[in-house]
Amino acid sequence: MTSSSLFVAVRCVFVRDVTVALRRSTDVLTPLVFFIIVGSLFPLGVGPEPNLLSTMAPGVIWVAALLATMLSLSRLFANDYADGTLEQLTLTPHPLTTLVLAKIMAHWLLTGLPLVLISPLLALQLNFQYENMGILVASLLLGTPVLSLIGSVGAALTLGLRGGGVLLSLLVLPLYTPVLIFGAGAVSTHALGMDVEAHLSLLAALLVLSVIFTPWVTAIALRISLD
């Protein structure tokens, strides 16, 4: 096995996942619509007071992004599991860990990145200050890939189980807590005029650790689910 053949395999998995998802437009639009609805309904629940909305905006956007990402996790491996593609991936001479990472990258491109791009518009709706938008987008760019990476472990562990969606939520929500704290905390800290380097550094560290370990753990979980 050469590095070029591995690159071709990774590219094929990535392109295939993106193509299949785009053909099923509901898979791409559902998390995004959910994200927009949660952010839009929140002012109706707490009232239109501008200062209150501005203060709570980072937490609202981050919680909405977290829940929207989790909404799409059950489909990360389900379709491949149903049509037998997942078994074929485990039989290839290429490392399953690398192929899993390609699938997670495709998931983030179709789920996490749209949330990042739409978040400034949602933030403006919550009366969030324009000068803090850069930190909001930066925190989401660092944090949403971690949500996809961690979520892949839960998706692999609950693959093929009845009621797996509920179990998936119970598994990943506690692991999402640090990402939520550091992500929303970075934006809130910047809004107060304080240094956010520590929060962003911790998010970057979580991203690096997730890239290193979660594809490996997910690959093991997939093999267990297929046995």
Please compute the mean of the pLDDT values over residues 164-175 and round it to a whole number.
Answer: 84
The dihedral through the CA atoms of 199, 137, 184, 26 has a sign that is negative
* Contact status, residue 158 vs residue 167, Cβ threshold 8 Å: yes
3-state secondary structure the chain: CCHHHHHHHHHHHHHHHHHHHHHCHHHHHHHHHHHHHHHHHHHHHHCCCHHHHHHHHHHHHHHHHHHHHHHHHCHHHHHHHHHCHHHHHHHCCCCHHHHHHHHHHHHHHHHHHHHHHHHHHHHHHCCCCHHHHHHHHHHHHHHHHHHHHHHHHHHHHCCCCCCHHHHHHHHHHHHHHHHHHHHHHHHHHHHCCCCCHHHHHHHHHHHHHHHHHHHHHHHHHHHHHHC
Q: How far apart are the first and last CA of the chain?
A: 26
Query: Cα separations (Å) of 97 from 28, 108, 180?
Result: 24, 17, 26
**pLDDT one-digit tens code per residue, 37-81:** 988 888 887 777 878 888 888 889 999 999 999 988 888 888 888
Segment 157-161 mean pLDDT: 81
What is the model's pTM? 0.92
| Predicted pLDDT at 2 | 61
Higher-confidence residue: 35 or 5?
35
- Do 70 and 171 contact (CB within 8 A), yes or no? no
State both tokens at 103: 């699938």
Instruction: Answer yes or no: is pLDDT of 3 > 70.
Output: no
Return the C-alpha torsion angle 135, 143, 38, 55, nearest 10: -40
CB atoms within 10 A of CB 14: 18
- The predicted pLDDT at position 160 comes to 73
pLDDT at 176: 94
The pLDDT score that the predictor gives to residue 125 is: 86
112-152: per-residue pLDDT in tens? 999 999 999 888 888 888 888 899 999 999 999 999 999 99
Is the backbone of residue 49 left (phi > 0), alpha (psi -120 to 50) or beta? Answer: beta
* Domains of the chain by residue range: 3-226
Which pLDDT score, from 0 to 100, does residue 86 have? 84
Q: Are 53 and 41 in contact (CB under 8 A)?
A: no
Evaluate whether 45 touches 126 at the Cβ level (below 8 Å).
no
List the structure tokens of 210: 């997730």
Residue 9: which pLDDT band, with cuts at 50, 70 and 90? confident
Tens of pLDDT, residue by residue over 179-212, are 999 999 999 888 888 888 999 999 999 999 999 9
